[in-house]
Amino acid sequence: MLFGDSESTAAVLHDLHTVVQPYTVESVTDRVALLQICAQLCAQHNIDLAALLEGALIDDHSALYWAMTNGPWPLKPPFELVRAVISHCRPLLKPETVREARHACIALRSQEMFQFLQMIPEFGALSTEDRFALGVLVPPETVVVEEMEGTTQPFSVRFHIPHFQKRMMLGTRIKVEFIARGRLWSLEFFTAIDPPYAALQHGHWSASLCMRENSLMTPVTCGVVFLDARPSPASPAPYWRSLTGAKNQVMRVKDGKAPKTGKAYSILPWTIFEQ
């Protein structure tokens, strides 16, 4: 509900158009300042600013969507305008707003924007169970995507998952999402309970890879490399251990098999960590 008189609401909407449209304001700092003026006007006239920012009131999209897609190029942190818009939508973002923001990240092909959103609790990088067990100060997973030039070239993804073993033991599964090649992927680690696949054994830690919403199917070939954090006499620092070729420790997908969105299509029986 917007409240306030129609004239004041229309004035705020006009200013919000200016905030999120490209080339209308010289700098991001000026846009953020204008947004703050809108917040002050809404407070004076009893207007629900969050409803204006999250409603599909600007060309059938929310102000947050346009703040994301019309931001400075190239898209790089700290995303001041997006951060400012989200701060005025809180304390609780609507599910529709979260979905639209995720779709914007896919359209922008921006893992950095997606990673930024994952740091916000409403976007659910950490499950409710994880936050309860680990505390609110535990950061979400850090994901870095490196894409080689050319659409047919491979890409690599590096994950840092805080308190991995504790979370697996307490919650039995961890899901990490990332954007690569214009698609939203999900890598999920889980404890196999009554597994439907012959390659999995009950109680073993496993992994699956799938595509999420608004992502086109594609053939995939992939492998997994684990960072062995345990120090050794020869190498006291952590080092990368490739599992390619190791029995039951490599994620493989046959060439030419196009998985369906939202369904697991690669399973990794995994025994490198002892439970």
* Mean of all residue pLDDT scores within the chain: 78
User: Is this prediction's pTM over 0.85?
Assistant: no
Least confidently predicted of 41-45, 78-82, 184-188, 266-270 = 266-270
Examine the pLDDT at 186 and tell me if it is beyond 60.
yes
Examine the pLDDT at 46 and tell me if it is beyond 50.
yes
For residue 206, the model assigns a pLDDT of: 81
Tokens read off for 121: 């609790």
Q: Check if the beta carbon of residue 200 is closer than 8 Å to that of residue 270.
A: no
* Model pLDDT for residues 98-130, shown as the tens digit of each residue: 999 999 999 999 999 999 998 887 786 666 666
Backbone angles phi and psi of 178, in degrees to 5: -155, 160
Other Cβ atoms within 10 Å of 245 Cβ, number: 8
For residue 251, the model assigns a pLDDT of: 39
Q: Which residue has the higher pLDDT, 130 or 31?
A: 31
Count how many residues are written for the chain. Answer: 275
Q: Where are the alpha helices (DSSP H) in the chain?
A: 6-20, 28-45, 49-54, 63-69, 80-89, 95-108, 111-118, 128-134, 164-171
Examine the pLDDT at 136 and tell me if it is beyond 80.
no
Examine the pLDDT at 169 and tell me if it is beyond 50.
yes
- Provide the edge-to-edge strand list for the sheet that holds 205-211: 173-180, 183-191, 205-211, 266-270
CA 264 – CA 269 distance, rounded (Å): 14
Q: Check if the beta carbon of residue 67 is closer than 8 Å to that of residue 83.
A: no
Mean pLDDT of 132-141: 67
Q: Which residue has the higher pLDDT, 159 or 121?
A: 159
* Model pLDDT for residues 206-256, shown as the tens digit of each residue: 888 888 888 888 878 777 776 665 555 665 544 444 444 333 333 343 333
Mean pLDDT of 37-54: 95
Tokens read off for 86: 């989200």
Q: Check if the beta carbon of residue 257 is closer than 8 Å to that of residue 219.
A: yes
Examine the pLDDT at 12 and tell me if it is beyond 80.
yes
Tokens read off for 35: 């947004």
CA distances from 105 to 108, 117, 177 (A): 5, 9, 12
CA 142 – CA 260 distance, rounded (Å): 26
For residue 77, the model assigns a pLDDT of: 86
